[in-house]
Amino acid sequence: MRNLSLATLFSALAGFVLVVIAGWALDIETEFRYFSAYWGLFFASAGLIDGITQETTRAVASARETGVKGTASPWRFASVAAAIVVAVGTPVAIVAMHSLVPMSPGMATSLLIFGLVSYTFQAVLSGILSGAQLWNQYASLVALDSGVRLVLALLAWAFGWGLTAFLLITVAGAASWMVILGASDTARTHIRVALDVDRRAFVRRVVSAMLASGASAALITGFPTAVSAAFPDNNADISIVVGAMNNAVILTRAPVLVPLQRFQSALVVRFVEHRDRIYQALLAPVGAVLALGAVGFVAAWAIGPWILKLGFKPELFVDGRTLALLTLASAFMGMLMITGVAVLALEQHVWYVAGWVVASIVAFAVLFTSPWAVATAVVVALYVGPLAGAVVHVAGLARARVEVA
């Protein structure tokens, strides 16, 4: 577990540094905006696929705890999912890229589909390693995923490779699973680990988890893409503000959400093992993420503007109050992630999906319909959405306790 903690810390720092590099390497008004929108789209789509990881983790952990062995195969499901990505994702991406990345729509589409197909299998391996508590191998996967992107970003900046290189960097880490399987005998011996359900139940539960993880990813990693869509780039001044706010959202989320995303599998195991004391098991991680958000609020207000002035182009400057509010908002998002994992661990898949869908609908409704300026709309959306979703999840936990009683 110590190695996983170090890997998640490295992942958070690598993501922060990568955004800094992109801010300097790309033109703010066009290339950086397109990069942030593409980054958000890829990781929102990957977040949908993360439902495979979450349910595979739960099924493997439960099989180890209960001894129940079903007939489901996550690898077979991943193969079908990858085929669907190619068949459905390709035409959708072709249309979307003409608006999101008009400078290189063809290349952006090809790289996106490749990255998502590969990430489908990476999601399976992540779930198996987590559910079997092979934390060292999982830590290696996390570190490699982020490390590949960071090294390539440094090279792209040094050699002036431009937007196309950063599109490749976005998806490059998704192939890390092949390296881990090739290098680790332990990982290879567990690729056929038992799950606790049959094929039909596994498919049903993974689809439910994917719906929820897709809604969560749309709200978390896909948010910059939504901001770009809500405030079109037909005005140069607004386009720069959108780029600055997207940059600020990504930066303020990295210290809280990147490590937490990597720890979700460990939280699934924690809540499965303590399902009879779910509220007690929930208090520590929720308290920790809110405390981290409070510390981040103060730090962002105090030193955030200085960091932006020192590390980024002037066009990406955001004031301290906005940075502080965005940092605390990331903790509220983290709280929603944790309550969602708890609901999933109790097998309340409907409530899990409902919480994330409600959170996304509320946040995007604010973003697309409010009369406020970009900064205000973004901040309000990132508070009211997660709060609404967390309320739904808590209601689901209460319902699960009543059913058990």
Model pLDDT for residues 278-302, shown as the tens digit of each residue: 888 888 889 989 998 999 999 999 9
Cα gap 25→295, rounded to integer Å: 31
171-207 CB burial, b ≥16 within 10 A, e <16:
bbbbbbbeebbeebeebeebeebbbbbeeeebbebbb
Largest CA distance in the chain: 63
Contact 98, 222 (CB under 8 A): no
Cα gap 26→28, rounded to integer Å: 6
How much is the pTM? 0.77
Token digits for 183?
Answer: 């290098």
**Torsional sign, CA 25, 28, 34, 38:** positive
| Other CB atoms within 10 A of residue 298 CB | 12
pLDDT at 54: 84
Token digits for 194?
Answer: 């038992």
Domain boundaries, the chain: 2-404
pLDDT at 385: 94
Unique residue bearing structure tokens 């020192």: 310
Token digits for 390?
Answer: 């967390």
* Low-confidence spans in the chain with pLDDT less than 70: 1, 233-234, 258, 261-262, 265, 401-405
Chain-wide mean pLDDT for the chain? 87
